[in-house]
Structure 1
Amino acid sequence: MKPTAVVVGVGSEEGLGAALARRFAKEGFHVIVGGRTAEKIERVVKSLGDGNSTAVQVDATKEEDVLRLFQTASAPGEGKSPASVVIFNAGNNQYIPFRELSGEKFEDFWRVGCLAGFLVGREAVNLLLPQGTGTIIFTGASASLRGRPGFAHFSAAKAGLRMLSQSMAREFGPQGLHVAHVVIDGGINGTKLKSILPGILDQRGLDGLLNIDAIAETYWQLHLQHPTAWTHEIDLRPFKESF
């Protein structure tokens, strides 16, 4: 039976979600590619080759969408076993001065960055716990650890996601589930950042941004860890990045 991995929060082919899908597909996993934009996830699925992945359009802030996603994850098709790896990579970021931050906008960021993580995490546990084994990985950020001016909304969501992952690790680690949180402490060399800051690559250079495939390799290595030496949290940054 072919193993299955779920990646939630896939967008552009040049994004981290797509890189994670590629890394697990390379190791023989059937990858369920979850994202909000049908065109983007279909392009990622096409890039992975015939039969190696399934696109599921999902808004992870909506409980009914997440339940539908995990119906597919529990029965991915003939010759494929239920998912044994779940990665939550959804997120959004935007500079908003605190006094200009509306309650609606604050809640929007919390829903994407934290509530969605809870919904995906809960259903991942429901799927993996009966198997007695499995890996759940959450993508964090610098804001998971510290707040910066103009990013209170983002920091609140990401810090909440970090605490969620810690609570899950302590509850379900002893039951065989490896729950990990990856702090991405720097800019990612992908479509999203380069579209927001067009000159960022010229300013920082290739070595000044995190390479998406290098990040994905760390997620793969987390999955491979022996249960007597599990990492719960790891931080990644370019060697040029201050911290």
Structure 2
Amino acid sequence: MTADEKLVEVLERARAVLFDFDGPICSVFAGEPAPGVARDLRERLAEWDVAVELDDELADDPLEVLRAAVRFGDKVTRTADDLLTGAEISAVRLAEPTPGGVESMRACRAAGLRVAVVSNNSAAAVNEYLALHQLVDLVEVVVGREYGKPDLMKPHPKPIHDALKRLRIGPDVALLVGDSLTDVDGSRAAGIACIAYANKPGKDRLLAAADAQVDDMQVLADHLSGLARRNAG
């Protein structure tokens, strides 16, 4: 089966598409780079005598700093979440839309598919971005990370299960579009299909367990538009 055939097969089974936020829809930290946000978060926590130490490959990821805060207890974790949420809301005001991302959401609606966003970023940041770009009417459900509980972020299946519950649909008719291993693993854990947005060299291998892949969100939008035309005919 070709890559296009896999993609079509996954799309034709779906009644709802769950989009990850950072990647498929926009680059959250394009204007305020993630390494600086992660560094600021660690420095703010240091004021609480909390030293978050991470391996080099994780130290520049603000979400990994939040995950690491768990070991210092609930109060520190909630403080870290508050700080990160504020940074995310600031960052999305400068975020760069992903080419083909909005087009994919619009094409979903044209094809009669429901749209949700399921993100490890805060729901407040996602909603801020959607409002700024006048996309609120496209998205039926937004599920961000659960406050103060970074251990429940993807790849934990709970955010996906929460979205399905709010959409009142089963996992057999939903799919997630994501650009990271946490998205693929989270989809597997939740029992839903996954389309990987493999937008960087090596991601096609990293995300090989996905049901289908695209390297350009516009490709997904075009296939969805084709589905809309077939449904209309």
Q: TM-score, normalised by structure 2?
A: 0.45
TM-score (norm: length of structure 1): 0.43
Q: Which protein is richer in strand relative to its size?
A: 1
Where relative contact order (Cα < 8 A, 6+ residues apart) is larger, the structure is: 2
